[in-house]
Chains A and B, each alone.
Chain A
Amino acid sequence: MSPDRAEAREAPEGRGTAGAQEAARRLSPARVLDIDPLLDDPKTRIVVCCGSGGVGKTTTAAALGLRAAERGRKVVVLTIDPAKRLAQSMAIDSLDNVPRKVKGTEGDGELHAMMLDMKRTFDEVVEAHADPDRAAAILSNPFYQSLSAGFAGTQEYMAMEKLGQLRAKDEWDLIVVDTPPSRSALDFLDAPKRLGSFLDGRLIRLLTAPAKLGGRAGMAFLNVGMSMMTGTLGKLLGGQLLKDVQTFVAAMDTTFGGFRTRADATYKLLQAPGTAFLVVAAPERDALREAAYFVERLAAEDMPLVGLVLNRVHDSGAGRLSAERALAAAENLEDARIVDQADGKAGLRNSPDTYGSSRPPASETAAAAPEEGSPADTERSVDRLTAGLLRLHAERMRLLSRERRTRDRFTARHPEVAVVEVPALPGDVHDLVGLRDIGHRLAAERPEHPEHPEHI
């Protein structure tokens, strides 16, 4: 990570909203990630959202894009595999592999969005760099067809390729990119290099130029190794595949300046000062472990990390009532109810001001005629509901403390990483209003919850 950028994101002072301060208080000792200055800074040109699957990466990317656009920037969001309804909300559910302007945004900026079509992107690379005959030969090659549609790293590679293309066009102030749902969150860093070094590498040269190598004196040992190898690979894969690979690489190799060069260029782009990495996670053990790993890896690769977005964090307006007390209170209410029903006494309430209260004993109406809506009946159902509310609260408080423990473990390991927490929503997001709401939450603009002093 680049230290000076990180410095700029120091916990907000002065400009921070009440919400941000609230977040700051909840998060001390960790630093708070302030999203708006990042999005507003004209020097920020690329934001990469990465993290493990199922943590809300795509939604975060879309929400950041919308927020930046509504704050006046011209933004394009590159999504990899959006949920259908999210894609529909931005009208990018048709796969044409070019950014489309999203309608319905507010303010002066613009939001464009696109969904990556990896095969198409690969085809475009070929078409852009080869003459038509050669391009046709490549596109119809069976090895190419499998590679462009199937190779586990192609999606990662093409996402980075598309990012490079969008950046080169220089049509947008800001590009927000979602990363593929890889088996490991790091694949998008490795796959381009792996594919690039394969396509441009020693093996492929050996495979494609056996005659040339064999003819040279002093290279005989290589020739032996080579024929053993092509022999083995041929045996393994079948001779046809090997021939397909050879013709594919021969066609590719001469047409453009090497895959590795392109992969290297994209890699450098990711390290450039205008790029900001956001690690997205949820407050769960696995997601945060992956996030920690990612933070370490980005640092090792000199990739500029700006912070962690922690999605789906729960909170409670009644945080001062502990889970244990809530459960005990729920039991009180339920016990009282059982007693009501068992022996017809309203007693065993443990609160002095209601003990022997003006409420009528429940049994007379309950036992004789359990009519709907009778006062005792209503009272019982309110008690029942209240016990339910308390149990629900206890569950929320346990979740909350588990989330805090998990988060604290991460911040203890990486105190240098600025964090922003995004409160959990009860439902899914699939329109601009929902994305805007997430944007507010990302920027810590939310109605302040009541204080959580120590437990009462």
Chain B
Amino acid sequence: MSAGLVSLEDVSRLQVVSGKGGTGKTTVAAALALALATEGKRTLLVEVEGRQGIAQLFETEALPYEERKIAVAPGGGEVYALAIDPELALLDYLQMFYKLGGAGRALKKLGAIDFATTVAPGLRDVLLTGKACEAVRRKDRSGRFAYDYVVMDAPPTGRITRFLNVNDEVAGLAKIGPIHNQAQAVMRVLKSPETAVHLVTLLEEMPVQETADGIAELRAARLPVGRVIVNMVRPEVLDAADVELVRTVERSSVAQALSTAGLGGARRGGNAEKLVDPLLEQAAEYAERHALEQEQRAVLGALDLPQHELPLLAEGMDLAGLYELATELRKQGLS
């Protein structure tokens, strides 16, 4: 845990959370949004992949294309959520710039909207990142930012650089025009210190490798890399001395100890004795996994980024667990 405490002023206003599939990036994004919402702050959690992962996590019905309050954080902060739908974002956009309300439907019928949002390379991403950046920039009448922080549950590590680097994607195609301008404006926000891209990983080889590759790509594209968040970290149950002892310990003395603890007879065939082999086998598996995890920690350590660890929740992920993780993030100074 290399991160020191960071004051709130230093925290980027757009927090992008990516990670390999299965690492729990949606969970971490949601916990981060909660953590940032304490002390009366207001955060917006945005989803860009149409999976409705946020709604499932917060145990609410599917989110519409509309900013909606989904949680209250300790101390009176509020978390809003928005599932960005690229089609609706485009129609919004057309309405805003061209007053194309009704014509939008005609465009949709002809397949133009579908084309623009799913086939035209990069355009979809400009619409998604554009909407998030708009929320970052939006101010209310008093000139105060509408949201103190915007947290984005972004596409996975393998696609994150391409997704955020909309300028490069679009530049080759749309050299002029509003999409081009929009892409430029989005890139100004994304490459500024206002943005931080965090990567969620597990202490396993594949996700760690993908994290290292993702960071290299983000850095090459000069996108601001934030932190590495190691998720679902299992507790250290056996220390180094215990692990060493697992290999040499007398089976009979473990049987004796189990018996002492009240688990039956220590003699051959006794209940305690029968537990010895499976328990030692589990310990050997633990030791093997623990060694692998240490290797992966070393790889992550070499990335030279602030690193955080979130515990595996024994009861599985639910709303209470989400608050637990948010508290943990705050404790670790991430928000």
Contact = CB atoms under 8 A, between A and B. Distances in A.
B257 A386 contact: yes
A395 B235 contact: yes
Contacts of A202: 110-111
B87 interface: no
A85 B49 CA distance: 29
A333 B249 CA distance: 17
Contacts of A151: 119, 121
A53 B22 contact: yes
B289 A238 contact: no
A446 interface: no
B179 A237 contact: yes
A384 interface: yes
Interface in B251-281: 253-254, 256-265, 271, 274-275, 277-281
Contacts of B178: 235-236
B112 A349 contact: no
A383 B242 CA distance: 10
A330 B110 contact: no
B147 to A, nearest CB: 24
A343 B103 CA distance: 86
Interface stretch (A93-101, A109-117, A350-358): A350-358
Given A83-B205, A195-B119, A354-B256, A332 B282 contact: no
B100 interface: yes
B180 interface: yes
B237 A316 contact: no
Contact of A54 (B21, B100, B261, B271): B21
A398 B249 CA distance: 26
A346 B145 CA distance: 65
Nearest to B245: A385
B21 to A, nearest CB: 2
A153 B118 contact: yes
A332 B122 contact: no
A201 interface: yes
A318 B278 contact: yes
A237 B242 contact: no
A392 B237 contact: yes
A84 B259 CA distance: 47
Nearest to B241: A381
Given A238-B174, A389-B254, A350 B204 contact: no
B115 interface: yes
A258 to B, nearest CB: 16
A416 interface: no
A233 B94 CA distance: 10
A421 B71 CA distance: 37
B257 A383 contact: yes
Contacts of B333: none
B310 interface: no
- SS of A interface (majority): helix
Contact of B122 (A150, A351, A378): A150
A238 B261 contact: no
Given A142-B172, A238-B179, A392-B238, A333 B278 contact: no
Contacts of A392: 237-238, 279, 282-283, 286
Interface stretch (A68-76, A132-140, A166-174, A282-290): A282-290
Contacts of A147: 119, 121
A241 B118 contact: no
Contact of B119 (A145, A194, A353): A194
A142 B245 contact: no
Interface in A295-353: 316-318, 321, 325, 328-330, 332-333, 336, 349-351, 353
Nearest to B284: A426
Tier of interface size on chain B: 35 or more
Q: Most chain-A CB neighbours within 10 Å: which of B107, B120, B285? A: B120
B325 to A, nearest CB: 15
Given A152-B118, A402-B315, A53 B156 contact: yes
B22 A318 contact: no
A229 B156 contact: no
A354 B261 CA distance: 10
A65 interface: no
Nearest to B125: A152
B1 interface: no
A62 interface: no
Contact of B173 (A146, A232, A317): A146
B22 A54 contact: yes
Q: Most chain-B CB neighbours within 10 Å: which of A181, A236, A349, A351? A: A236
Contacts of B259: 351, 353-354
B22 A55 contact: yes
B66 interface: no
Nearest 10 pairs of A and B residues by beta carbon: A53-B21, A54-B22, A317-B278, A146-B121, A329-B261, A386-B257, A238-B177, A318-B278, A203-B111, A54-B21
Given A239-B177, A285-B316, 16 more contacts: A52-B21, A53-B21, A206-B110, A229-B110, A235-B98, A282-B22, A317-B278, A332-B262, A351-B262, A354-B260, A378-B253, A386-B254, A388-B242, A388-B283, A389-B254, A389-B279
Interface of B: 20-23, 49-51, 53, 56, 94, 98, 100, 103, 106-107, 110-112, 114-116, 118-124, 155-156, 158-159, 162, 169, 172-180, 204-207, 209, 234-235, 237-239, 241-242, 245-246, 249-250, 253-254, 256-265, 271, 274-275, 277-283, 285-286, 288-289, 292, 314-317
16 contacts: A81-B158, A194-B114, A203-B111, A228-B103, A229-B110, A233-B112, A238-B176, A286-B53, A317-B277, A318-B282, A332-B260, A379-B253, A389-B279, A393-B282, A426-B285, A427-B292
